[in-house]
């Protein structure tokens, strides 16, 4: 069943439980309601943008061009002046068709990697290495990533943020990764290059903000330092990891949990299902259990639920597993419920839009005979 974002916002608001008579909870609830009111404002302002797609029945508007022409006007972030960030279109690929909200374009080959920005989608065709950007009307080549979609999907090779227009990938020069490229899909231009800080080591992107990139070397994630590249000034500075933690804690589109050692960790949660309730956890390396419970930046606990009588794409004898595919706005995420499907990026499954922090998810793009390629947050 396909519904508009405005309907989903109303359903999310109706599903909120009444607050308990606890001062801390009352304050948190007030904050959540303020965020929901802001989402209603943006849903009305962005009616012409349409963040939710019509599913596999959507008719392709193949206005794709490969001559490097500028895309038509992309969804304007000015519509989001009353909220913390603009509404993003839901993006995914179906064979050679790239869906961007209610628009679609045709790629030259089946798509094996896709990621959203505020302006559209970045994608790569299977075994091609060429990165494309589309706003859903036209397309253009923006660079070469090398390994994002070959032979299976490696989303960490290309990074986008949960908000903003930046795309980051490692440049390929004679098969040697020498520096990170920073591209802005709003400006349609490269806005920075980041030399790898340690010779002989790759740079691994930890976080992409609206005007900053945080990264470490491939041997530095156990170290206490991390690097920050400022897009506006073009400068790179070294920081303790606690500085990045502080940045993440200040962003609305952030998940956090406490691991077995009592540390607060940030990341994208995965979900298992128990009697219709989605149990969230954040996986951290070197521990047997995922960090839980998962909370949002305002401290509210993530308590999502599946639609009534929902039957997922997974085999009956397997434990359901769902993952966060993308953020639509500060109060709505898209979950990807797939059939497992091995390591290949294309899988059969459903896209569910979920109002945060404790709403009932809705199947927005139902599964189809053709497998989908879902975006995964970097």
Q: Which two tokens stand for residue 194?
A: 């980041």
Residue written as token pair 């991390």: 226
Q: Is the pLDDT of residue 19 over 50?
A: no
Sign of CA dihedral 99, 100, 101, 106: negative
Q: Which two tokens stand for residue 303?
A: 């308590």
pLDDT at 321: 79
Q: Would you give the DSSP letter of residue 31?
A: H
Q: What would the DSSP string read from start to end of 204-241?
A: EEEEE-SSEEEEEETT-TTSSEEEEEETTTTEEEEEEH
The pLDDT tens digits for 181-219 are 999 999 999 999 998 766 656 778 999 999 999 998 766
Q: Is the pLDDT of residue 172 over 60?
A: yes
3-class SS of residue 4: coil
134 or 67: which leads in pLDDT: 134
The pLDDT tens digits for 86-106 are 799 999 999 999 999 999 999
pLDDT at 145: 80
Mean pLDDT of the region 253-264:
90
Q: How far from chain centre, in Å, is Cα 219?
A: 26
When computed from its CA atoms, the radius of gyration of the chain, rounded to whole angstroms, is 20
pLDDT at 85: 57
Q: Which two tokens stand for residue 37?
A: 């009111």
Sign of CA dihedral 271, 273, 279, 281: negative
In angstroms, the CA 367 to CA 218 distance is 37
Q: What is the mean pLDDT of the chain?
A: 77
Long-range contacts of 270-274 (CB under 8 A, 24+ apart): 270/321, 270/322, 270/323, 270/324, 271/304, 271/320, 271/321, 271/322, 271/323, 271/335, 272/319, 272/320, 272/321, 272/322, 273/306, 273/312, 273/319, 273/320, 273/322
The lowest-confidence range among 51-55, 74-78, 214-218 is 74-78
In angstroms, the CA 337 to CA 314 distance is 8
Residue 93 and residue 52 in contact, taking contact as beta carbons nearer than 8 Å = no
Residue written as token pair 């098969």: 175
Q: Is the pLDDT of residue 220 over 90?
A: no
């Amino acid at each position: 069943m396909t519904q508009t974002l405005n309907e989903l916002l109303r359903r999310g608001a109706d599903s909120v439980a009444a607050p308990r008579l606890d001062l801390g909870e009352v304050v948190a609830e007030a904050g959540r309601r303020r965020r929901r009111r802001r989402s209603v404002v943006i849903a009305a302002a962005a009616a012409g943008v349409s963040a939710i797609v019509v599913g596999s029945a959507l008719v392709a508007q193949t206005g794709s061009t490969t001559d490097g022409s500028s895309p038509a006007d992309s969804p304007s972030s000015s519509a989001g002046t009353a909220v913390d960030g603009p509404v993003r279109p839901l993006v995914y690929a179906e064979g050679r068709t790239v869906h961007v909200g209610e628009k679609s374009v045709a790629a030259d080959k089946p798509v094996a990697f896709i990621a959203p920005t505020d302006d559209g989608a970045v994608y790569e065709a299977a075994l091609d290495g060429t990165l494309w950007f589309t706003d859903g009307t036209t397309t253009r080549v923006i660079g070469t990533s090398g390994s994002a979609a070959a032979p299976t999907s490696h989303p960490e090779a290309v990074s986008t943020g949960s908000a903003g227009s930046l795309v980051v990938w490692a440049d390929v020069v004679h098969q040697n990764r020498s520096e990170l490229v920073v591209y802005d899909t709003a400006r349609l231009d490269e806005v920075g290059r980041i030399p790898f800080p340690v010779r002989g080591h790759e740079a691994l992107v930890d976080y992409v903000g609206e005007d900053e990139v945080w990264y470490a070397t491939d041997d530095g994630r156990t170290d206490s330092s991390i690097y920050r590249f400022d897009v506006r000034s073009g400068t790179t500075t070294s920081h303790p990891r606690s500085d990045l933690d502080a940045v993440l804690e200040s962003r609305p589109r952030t998940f956090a949990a406490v691991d077995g050692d009592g540390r607060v960790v940030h990341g994208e949660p995965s979900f298992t299902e128990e009697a219709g309730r989605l149990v969230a956890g954040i996986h951290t390396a070197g521990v047997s259990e995922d960090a839980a419970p998962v909370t949002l930046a305002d401290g509210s606990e993530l308590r999502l639920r599946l639609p009534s009588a929902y039957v997922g794409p997974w085999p009956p004898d397997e434990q359901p597993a769902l993952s966060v595919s993308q953020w639509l706005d500060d109060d709505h995420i898209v979950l990807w419920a797939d059939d497992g499907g091995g390591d290949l990026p294309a899988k059969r499954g459903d896209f569910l839009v979920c109002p945060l922090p404790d709403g009932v998810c809705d199947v927005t793009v139902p599964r189809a005979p053709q497998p989908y390629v879902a975006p995964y947050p970097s």
